[in-house]
Amino acid sequence: MTGILGKKIGMTRIIRQDDGRVIPMTIVKCEPNVITQIKTVEKDGYPAIVLGFDALAKPRKSKKYKYMKEFRIDAETEQKKGDAVTIEMFEEGDVVKITGTSKGKGFQGVIKRHNFARGPQSHGSHHNREPGSVGGCARPGNIQRGKKLPGHMGLNQVTLSRASVVYIDKEKNLIGIKGAVPGSKNSLIAIKKVSQ
C-alpha cells in the first residue's frame, strides 16, 4: 500500500537531538483507513485501491465513509476488501506527496490574488488598487480568456510533491510533515509514499 488519508491537526516544532536544529512541522492524524474496493487490471483496466476514512454516524448502503479516495498501485495487492490501512508503512525520513485543499480567502482583488502593484497614490490618481487596462476597445471587443482579474481566491487542490516525514507516533496515529501543509485545521489530507 502506498497512501493513506488523514486530518490536519496543526503546526508545531521539534528540536533535533543530534544537532539542536529546530524543525517546523505539521501534525496529521491518520486514523486507520478501510479498503472499500480493490480495482484490478482485468476488471477495471488498472490496479488501484479505494480507501474510506471517517466513518459516518448513520451509514447508508451507498456511502459508509465521509471521505473516499483512490490510490494507484503498481501491482495487485494481497490485501482484501475490509482490511485496515495504518501508518505502519511510513518511517521517519520517508519522502511523501501531500495533497490537500488550500484555505479559502473569499472574493479578492488583483493585488492580493495576483500580486499586482498598486497604482499611483498621489497627484489626483483614482485607481490606487484597480487592475488597470483589461484589453482593447473595438478590436477584439472582448476580454481575453485567462485575464487576471478579481475573483474567488483559495479552495484549490494543492500538492506538495516532495515533503519529508520528520516525526511518527504509531500509538496515536500521528505523522509529522516537515514545513506547512495546505488546508485549514481538520481538513482532509492525502499522504502518498514516493519512491526515492
pLDDT of residue 17: 86
pLDDT digits (tens, 9 = 90+) for 55-85: 888 888 888 899 999 999 887 778 888 889 9
Please report the pLDDT score of residue 196 as a whole number: 63
- Per-residue pLDDT, 58: 87
Cβ of 141: how many Cβ atoms within 10 Å? Answer: 8
CA distance 13 to 24: 4
What is the arithmetic mean of pLDDT over 95-111? 96
For residues 105-130, give the mean pLDDT.
94
Which pLDDT belongs to residue 74? Answer: 82
Q: State residue 50's pLDDT score.
A: 92
Query: 7-63, pLDDT tens digit by residue?
Result: 999 999 999 888 889 999 999 999 999 999 999 888 888 999 999 998 888 888 888
CA distance 183 to 155: 8
Residue 84 Cα distances to 1, 50, 96, 124, 193, angstroms: 11, 12, 20, 67, 17
Residue 34: per-residue pLDDT: 93
CB 124 within 8 A of CB 168: no
Grid coordinates given for 120: 499611483
C-alpha closest to that of 95 among 5, 164, 4:
164
pLDDT, residue 182, reads 95
pLDDT given at position 136: 85
